[in-house]
Structure 1
Amino acid sequence: MTQTALAKPLDFPTGRPHGFAPLENEPQFDAQRHLQIEMPDEILPLSALGYSDAEIAECPTPFGVTSIFRVLSDEGAACLLDVARQLEQFTTSNARIARNVRGAVYRSKFLRDLCQSPELTAAISKICGTPLLPHTLPHQLGHLNYNPLEVGENVDKWHVDTLRIDFVMFVTDPKSVEGGEFQYYKGTKAEVAALKADGKPLDPEKIVSPAMPGPGYAVVQQGNMVVHRAKGLTAPGERITMVNGYVPQDIEFPDFSRFDQLYLVDPKDVAASEYTRHMKWMARERIDAQLEGFEFSEDTAKMAEEFESLSALMLETAKELRNAGTATVEHFGD
């Protein structure tokens, strides 16, 4: 990959969507004090989940999922818990999740600075083996999941994510509650879809429940390839997790935004506007890379292909926008 193929970061929007007032009293993020990043002991490739070489070639990295590793210091974990508790009043629900807060990075500067931390982004890039940027859709930064009010109801159903790379981090102490495990399936999403279509349960031998030692610990995954879920609590308690998303910095890679899904769970004006902004950024970065790599040539076929690629990107974006609201929320059930 050449340097010109790497996209420049997209600045966070200067304004807020209607109704997203900022928190009035929150800590100030300090990477020196609040981060305590440790590398995971194990990194499982997609091939270990059963994906073929052809399927892996369509991904920005062969990386699959990590073992548990530390992200936050004790002070950082305490600050994030304070912020998450303040944000709980803004929970919404959808067909997959009973209580979650999305777009909290518009409300909380602490959360925004944490999710966009260069130190954290560099660490996640190293783990995944490819350059990453904090997700250019703000609603994919700092997504917070809260346990349902009904004991026993799963926090989230079996699913794959609407983004490529993300980490799942416990905000509350997982040892302080009964149940609430994060789980992933050591198989492919096609395997899970086939089992569900046939009315068969997932193979229990392939369900992995990593032991989280405390708050501020996380798992990184290629979320659109790793099938995972969050179990419900078996007794009353408090369970909060944070999911932070990233995009590949390689701008030639096909977009994976799943706007069709985001439009169903986020405010419609915000989802459409963020998606449009993201795709314009991607188109701009591709054009800039081509301009920076300008050279004299007679290869008109290659020149035409570059314009066709840009045209296809824009036409697909327009198609997604026109089809907004026609999909259904996707998941594999409990």
Structure 2
Amino acid sequence: MTTTRHRRDGARDGAGGGLLDLPRMATGFDRFVHALRARPPRRPAALPGEPCWRGEFVARDVTGPRVDLREFGYAAHELNRGYGTVDDTALVGPVRILTPEGLECLTEVCDRLESSAGSARFITTRRVRGADGMSAFISNMIRDRGFLLACSRLAGVPLIPHPLRIPTVQINYFEADGRSDIVKWHHDGMDYVLTLQLNSYADYDGGRFSYFQGRVDEFTGARKGDPRIKEAPCGERGAALFLHGSRIFHSVSPVTRGRRVTVVVSFFCPYFARQDSNTFWHLAADDGIPATVPSWLRLKWPVRDAAMNFALRAGSPVITWEDLRD
């Protein structure tokens, strides 16, 4: 994995400026209120006649500029470690993880799923949740061994699709039609998140992905012009960004012209299952309490062979540490 530093490859220091005017995700009692009001995502029938996923859609030699968590202010003792590895990857990208043909097929699928998009108040204003349950193409993509190996090598740890299912694949839709679609300042419940961009900057204005290069507990002290607010240089169609989502505050500004669509895939490391950062109320605020309870119980069941057990639950191949060293 390359150790080229992300800020040397186009990250714009101080890009936040007015972006701190964007709202922040609810916390405390307000998050509980969101959980009471949230409704589970709709479950329409699977797409008829969609493209077929093929393993050759995964690009070769998927590498990109990397920043580690210590550059965000996290101390060594706060990082997951085991199996001879320190789980210290904060951000990798932009990278190309799909071939042009694979990207075209994914774009077609996401365009067809847009009619199922619902509105939300917690973090992302307009999205489809659980998209892999609606699309065989997306389901097969995120469970393809080559795709998982590419993502695991970016993260530096073995990954599988997140077994919680509802938040495993989310498609975000942003359009300049008066709705002011945004992603609020937030950190994810998931530890390992990949965002695929299906449009380029030529297709829209606004819609900038920004992140705070500091600890999550330091974000409340950030102000306009803070040099720790950076913009990820993901302006090309097909650009992908890996993020240690639970440890990094990030946001997306409103689209003021055109259309922007992103696919967000959440992963899980079975080997660090007991260090998973998910909290019940973070998930429930997005999907509602009734939809979250059964998934949460399955996630927290004790396991013996964590890698095999969670992979079976996610319907995924098992990725091992040895696979990453090949």
In the alignment, structure 1 residue 129 sits paired with structure 2 residue 156: yes
Report what 1:44 is aligned to.
67
Distance 2:59 2:244 in 1: 22
Query: Which deviates further from its counterpart, 138-147 or 211-220?
Result: 211-220
The AA in structure 1 aligned to 2:265 is N
User: SS of the residue aligned with 1:68?
Assistant: strand
In the alignment, structure 1 residue 240 sits paired with structure 2 residue 264: no
Correspondence list, 1:84-233, <5 A: 84-92=110-118, 93-147=120-174, 150-151=177-178, 153=180, 155-195=182-222, 200-201=223-224, 203=226, 205-233=227-255
Report what 1:82 is aligned to.
108
Q: What is the root-mean-square deviation in Å for CA atoms of aligned residues?
A: 2.6
Shift of 1:69: 0.5
Partner of residue 283 from structure 1, selected from 280, 285, 303 = 303
Distance 2:293 2:212 in 1: 32
Distance 1:135 1:51 in 2: 24
User: Which structure exhibits the higher relative contact order, with contacts defined as CA atoms closer than 8 Å and separated by 6 or more residues?
Assistant: 2
Distance 1:168 1:44 in 2: 16
The AA in structure 2 aligned to 1:156 is V
Partner of residue 73 from structure 1, selected from 83, 99, 103 = 99
Shift of 1:66: 1.1
Shift of 1:19: 3.7
Shift of 1:252: 5.5
Q: Is the 8 A contact 1:174 1:213 kept in 2?
A: yes
The AA in structure 2 aligned to 1:28 is C
Q: Is the 8 A contact 2:91 2:241 kept in 1?
A: yes
Report what 1:53 is aligned to.
76
Correspondence list, 1:246-261, <5 A: 246-251=267-272, 253-261=274-282
Distance 1:105 1:243 in 2: 11
Report what 1:13 is aligned to.
none
Instruction: Please report the TM-score for the alignment, with normalisation by the length of structure 2.
Output: 0.73
Identity %: 23
Shift of 1:109: 0.6
In proportion to residue count, which structure has more strand?
2
Instruction: Check 1:252–1:84 CA distance in 2 against 1; reply closer, same or farther (3 A cut).
Output: closer
Query: Which deviates further from its counterpart, 143-152 or 20-29?
Result: 143-152
Q: Is the 8 A contact 1:145 1:155 kept in 2?
A: no
Shift of 1:167: 0.9
Instruction: Check 1:23–1:185 CA distance in 2 against 1; reply closer, same or farther (3 A cut).
Output: same
The AA in structure 2 aligned to 1:47 is R
Shift of 1:272: 2.2
Shift of 1:122: 1.0
Q: Is the 8 A contact 1:148 1:155 kept in 2?
A: no
Report what 1:273 is aligned to.
294
Query: Which deviates further from its counterpart, 239-248 or 36-45?
Result: 36-45
User: SS of the residue aligned with 1:161?
Assistant: coil
Instruction: Please report the TM-score for the alignment, with normalisation by the length of structure 1.
Output: 0.72
The AA in structure 1 aligned to 2:234 is M
In the alignment, structure 1 residue 25 sits paired with structure 2 residue 52: no
Instruction: Check 1:152–1:208 CA distance in 2 against 1; reply closer, same or farther (3 A cut).
Output: farther
In the alignment, structure 1 residue 64 sits paired with structure 2 residue 90: yes
Instruction: Check 1:37–1:169 CA distance in 2 against 1; reply closer, same or farther (3 A cut).
Output: farther
User: SS of the residue aligned with 1:229?
Assistant: strand
Distance 1:120 1:268 in 2: 32
